Structure 1
Amino acid sequence: MDPRSEVLLRQAELFGGRTLLAGLPADDLLGQLPEALGWSWHAGDQNLLQARFAGRSDFAVTPPQTDFETAVLFLPKSRELTGYLLDALASHLPGKLLYLVGEKRAGVERAAKQMSIYGTPRKLDSARHCQLWQVRVDQAPAAPELASLAQRYSLQLDDGPLEVVTLPGVFSHGRLDIGSALLLNHLQQLPGGHLLDFGCGAGVLGAVLKRRYPESLVTLLDVDAFAVASSRLTLAANGLEANVINGDGIAAAPSELSAILSNPPFHQGVHTHYQASEDLLRQACRHLRKGGQIRLVANRFLKYPPLIEQHIGTCHTLADADGFRIYQATRA
């Protein structure tokens, strides 16, 4: 059981009714709270929740339309996303109770202060290195428009400017990260066919691929619903069309790909988490056609070349700069 869920269950009498659990972990919490509902934006968690508790968890970037008497937000990493989610939940709960649970080291005390615009937050419990906070929504906000919270910036590329649209919580919100910038300079001579942007984030890489390889089918894949929404906005802002899908890692990718391009994630919340990246390298050959390539950017300290050599083919370093490396391998 997730420590945050354990803290909630110490106060289980507060959540016996129609409770919306926003950003809930994929544990047995819904089993312990039979009247509760889930709201997830992580495809992996949603798949697990759906398998165990079919029909009891929604997957979306906005709250489910179903009625709920109270809500609990599991603190996300992003402060901007926290603000959006709290407003989205509080707008449904005038005069009712809203809860926040999270790890101390993730900044739950700071996030609890964000609830002061609705009423007076109070700490109910502290255990398992987590805290549970409560506020009565005396001043309910208007339901937030997610699109209005998007940040836009323009990249000046050799083939013209690219407009990027990022939503709260998406990796590198409002700016281009160093690793992706390096990878954008090493997209030449890709094999034609079906290209995959794995871990697409705001869709920068996928949009550039579609513009530079217009005859190729391009798919963008991410585990996060807010990333997929951002990617669709970025594509639309540049008049481009591509497939954009949510999925839990490389297993959700199409087959017979001619190339996989990625700035793979290795953080989940405040924790370092390498599973998605390592699965990508171990399973890429199942999705690449013969002669297909994988090309990715990674922090220099990450030991990816041995995995690439073991599971895909000879690993070539195309670039080494600013603490990042570009690796390339071809499936035999």
Structure 2
Amino acid sequence: MDPRSEVILRQEAYLKGRVLFINAPCDPLLSQLNQNIDASIWTWNFADYEQYNADDHTHFGITPPHQEYDQAVIFVPKSKELLNYVLHQVASHLAKGCQIFLVGEKKIGVERAAKQLQVYGNTLKLDSARHCQLWLTQLEQPVAKKPLSDWVKTYPINIEQDTLKICALPGVFSQNHLDLGTAVLLPQLKNITKGRIADFGCGAGVIACYLAKKNKKNTIYALDVDAFALESTKMTFEANQLTSQLECCAVRGISDMPSGLNAIVSNPPFHQGVKTNYDVSETLCREAKQHLKNRGELWIVANRFLNYAPLIEQSFGTCTVKTDQNGFKVLYALA
């Protein structure tokens, strides 16, 4: 069991009534809680949502479910900005006097997170164990809701003759500026094939939006496990008046990708929360061909130290390095 869940079980006596667990790990925690606790889940990770069986007590999205709750237990996310958003969403959803718990690992800054919690009331540390901490506050006053637009950061990017407006919600990769890997990739896509194109790990929709702008006949499948990324991509397409070309899809991984694609493009993710995990990107290299049409294209940008080319060659036969600059390689393969 996740050590954060073990800390929750150590202090289970504090839990009562209708409790919303937020960003919780997929482990046996809920099944081991007292039956008097009416537990629900809010997650923005689609793989976790599916693993929780996606029943009426599980909610996937960027806002909490509409039901009323007595308490909320937040498993601290990596992003400080995302935690600010989640805390405000929860505080504006709960009534005065309701309780908010924070649980997290020391190495990701749970004590810093506890300071963010102090905005909403007097904060108490309940436990410190398993290299984790559990904190509690009680809402001292009602909190006004904020529109989603208050949480969005926007910035322009210029590519060839086009200017795109990028919209990104808290916690989304490269929320404040164009990341270097994508900047290396975009100029290489000027000769990409047309048709049905997937952006795997779409983030704020930079690559997807560029591909839609490049050819108005392209259908773009923006794929991501993260609800905040998918919503950001929708907002980016709306800001650039390209929504008719967009298909946003929540996916667990490469297996959920549509088939019969003309091209797959990716700046593949290799983080799960605070941990580095290359499984998703390596699986993409091995299995992308199964989702492409004959002579369909794979385009990947990756840190130079990541040796993806041999994995791609095992499936496609050959892999071409289109460019190698600023610490990033753009890899290309033809099905």
Deviation at 1:194, TM superposition (A): 0.8
Structure 2 counterpart of 1:41, one-letter code:
W
Aligned partner of 2:276 in structure 1 is 272
**Runs of 5+ consecutive residues of structure 1 not aligned to the other structure:** none
Structure 2 counterpart of 1:239, one-letter code:
Q
Q: How does 1:1-332 map to 2 (within 5 A)?
A: 1-33=1-33, 34=35, 35-50=38-53, 54-91=55-92, 92-241=94-243, 242-331=246-335
SS in 2 for 1:86: helix
CA distance in 1, matches of 2:268, 2:51: 22
Deviation at 1:82, TM superposition (A): 0.3
Q: Deviations over 1:183-226 (max 9, x none)?
A: 11110222222100110000010000011122121111110000
CA distance in 1, matches of 2:210, 2:69: 42
Deviation at 1:16, TM superposition (A): 4.1
Deviation at 1:79, TM superposition (A): 0.6
CA distance in 1, matches of 2:62, 2:251: 15
SS in 2 for 1:327: strand
**Runs of 5+ consecutive residues of structure 2 not aligned to the other structure:** none
SS in 1 for 2:191: coil
Deviation at 1:174, TM superposition (A): 1.6
Deviation at 1:306, TM superposition (A): 1.2
Structure 1 counterpart of 2:26, one-letter code:
A
**Paired-residue identity, %:** 46
CA distance in 1, matches of 2:95, 2:279: 37
Structure 2 counterpart of 1:22, one-letter code:
I
Q: Deviations over 1:114-154 (max 9, x none)?
A: 11111121111111111111011113321232221101111
Query: Is the 1:318–1:325 Cα contact (8 Å) retained in structure 2?
Result: yes
Query: Is the 1:4–1:102 Cα contact (8 Å) retained in structure 2?
Result: yes
CA distance in 1, matches of 2:325, 2:179: 13
Query: Is the 1:281–1:312 Cα contact (8 Å) retained in structure 2?
Result: no
SS in 2 for 1:36: strand
Query: Is the 1:39–1:60 Cα contact (8 Å) retained in structure 2?
Result: yes
Query: Is the 1:26–1:45 Cα contact (8 Å) retained in structure 2?
Result: yes
Q: Deviations over 1:85-114 (max 9, x none)?
A: 011111214212100011111111001001
SS in 2 for 1:20: strand
In the superposition, the TM-score normalised over structure 2's length comes to 0.95
Deviation at 1:157, TM superposition (A): 2.1
Deviation at 1:17, TM superposition (A): 2.4
Structure 2 counterpart of 1:12, one-letter code:
E
CA distance in 2, matches of 1:191, 1:262: 15
- Compute the RMSD of aligned alpha carbons: 1.2
SS in 2 for 1:187: helix
CA distance in 1, matches of 2:29, 2:58: 12
In the superposition, the TM-score normalised over structure 1's length comes to 0.96
Query: Is the 1:154–1:162 Cα contact (8 Å) retained in structure 2?
Result: yes
Structure 2 counterpart of 1:286, one-letter code:
Q
Structure 1 counterpart of 2:235, one-letter code:
L
Worse-superposed segment, 90-99 or 63-72 = 90-99
CA distance in 1, matches of 2:15, 2:53: 21
Structure 2 counterpart of 1:200, one-letter code:
C
